[in-house]
């Protein structure tokens, strides 16, 4: 069955916003129905010749079939990605395996920065007022899958636990200390540790400002109160003193 790109029912791979997660699943399904998935995965082994100087008709036919599958797989991938993505695989367009690996490394780089961003998206997901629970759960599992895809195989359980603590801490201050949260993520793109978070939090808590008061003291001084005006004024004065 020859692949017809004009009849595909899913979007081509794009960079912004990236649709790699859904595209990857769709391509896998289409490749399997066209018997091309093993060629993309590198599991369609190239036939060997018993004697390269005396090829048999069967060997030539088997090798031609293998090349046809390889070329069809490469062509299918090329036709299912946007022009800007084609630039990334132009030099390896004759190898579906290298095309696939290049696109995966581009969109699912298993580095800390995209992993943190994906985890933050997962932790911040909130159900809409009129959203059915099953649809909400589907969004959660989709985001969870995207985050899991970014986990490197070398990441230990202890490292994962530390990352979860760090990202939870950053998310917890994103409203009150947005600048601190942003700086932590931008300055620790390769690895975010509890020590880095602890240092940033300590520095912020003890950062001097005009008047000699710390940010924490200033927040106490101006914390809104539900008490009566007189008692509120009294407490504010005590806090400032």
Alpha carbons within 13 angstroms on the beta-carbon side of residue 188 total 22
Asked if pLDDT for residue 237 goes beyond 60, the answer is: no
Q: Is the pTM of this model over 0.85?
A: no
Return all residues near 140 (Cβ < 8 A) that are at least 6 apart.
Answer: 122, 125
Q: What is the pLDDT of residues 179-220, one digit of tens each?
A: 898 888 888 777 888 999 999 998 988 887 655 544 444 444
Question: Is 227 a residue whose pLDDT tops 50?
Answer: no
Per-residue confidence (pLDDT) for residue 209, from 0 to 100: 67
Top pLDDT among 239 and 107 is at 107
- Report the chain's mean pLDDT, rounded to a whole number: 83
Residue pLDDT, tens place only, 114-145:
788 888 889 889 999 999 999 999 999 989 98
Stretch 224-235: mean pLDDT, rounded?
38
Q: How far apart, in whole angstroms, are the C-alpha atoms of residue 162 and residue 175? A: 22
What DSSP letter does each residue of the chain carry, written as one string? ----GGG--SPPB-BTTB-HHHHHHHHHHHHHHTT-HHHHHT-SPPP--S-TTS--HHHHHHHHHHHHHHHHHHHHHHHTB-HHHHHHHGGGTT-HHHHHHHHHHHHS--SHHHHHHHHHHHHT----TT--HHHHHHHHHHHHHHHHHT--TT--HHHHHHHHHHHHHHHHTTTT-HHHHHHHHHHTSS---HHHHHHHHHHHHT---TTS--HHHHHHHT----S-HHHHHHHHHHHH-
Rounded CA-CA distance 151/115 in Å is 7
pLDDT single digits (tens) 16-75: 777 888 899 999 999 999 999 999 999 988 888 888 888 899 999 999 999 999 999 999
Q: What is the pLDDT of residue 229?
A: 39
How far is C-alpha 95 from the chain's CA centre?
Answer: 25
Q: pLDDT, tens digit, for every residue of 161-190?
A: 998 899 899 888 888 888 898 888 888 777
């Amino acid at each position: 069955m020859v692949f017809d790109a004009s009849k595909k029912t899913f979007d081509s791979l794009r960079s912004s916003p990236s649709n790699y997660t859904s595209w990857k699943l769709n391509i896998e399904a289409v490749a399997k129905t066209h018997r091309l998935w093993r060629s993309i995965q590198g599991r369609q082994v190239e036939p060997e010749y018993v004697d390269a100087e005396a090829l048999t008709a069967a060997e030539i036919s088997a090798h031609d079939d293998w090349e046809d599958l390889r070329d069809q797989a490469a062509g299918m991938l090329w036709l299912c990605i946007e022009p800007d993505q084609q630039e990334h695989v132009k030099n390896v367009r004759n190898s579906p395996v290298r095309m696939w690996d290049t696109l995966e490394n581009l969109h699912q780089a298993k580095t800390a920065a995209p992993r943190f961003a994906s985890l933050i998206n997962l932790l911040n997901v909130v159900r809409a007022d009129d959203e059915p629970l099953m649809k909400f759960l589907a969004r959660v599992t989709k985001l969870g899958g995207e985050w899991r895809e970014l986990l490197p195989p070398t990441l230990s359980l202890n490292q994962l636990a530390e990352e979860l603590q760090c990202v939870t801490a950053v998310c917890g201050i994103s409203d009150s200390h947005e600048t601190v949260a942003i700086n932590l993520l931008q300055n620790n793109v390769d690895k975010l540790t509890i020590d880095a978070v602890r240092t940033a939090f300590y520095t912020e808590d003890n950062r001097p400002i005009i008047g000699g008061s710390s940010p924490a003291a200033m927040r106490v001084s101006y914390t809104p109160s539900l008490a009566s005006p007189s008692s509120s004024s009294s407490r504010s004065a005590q806090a400032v003193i």
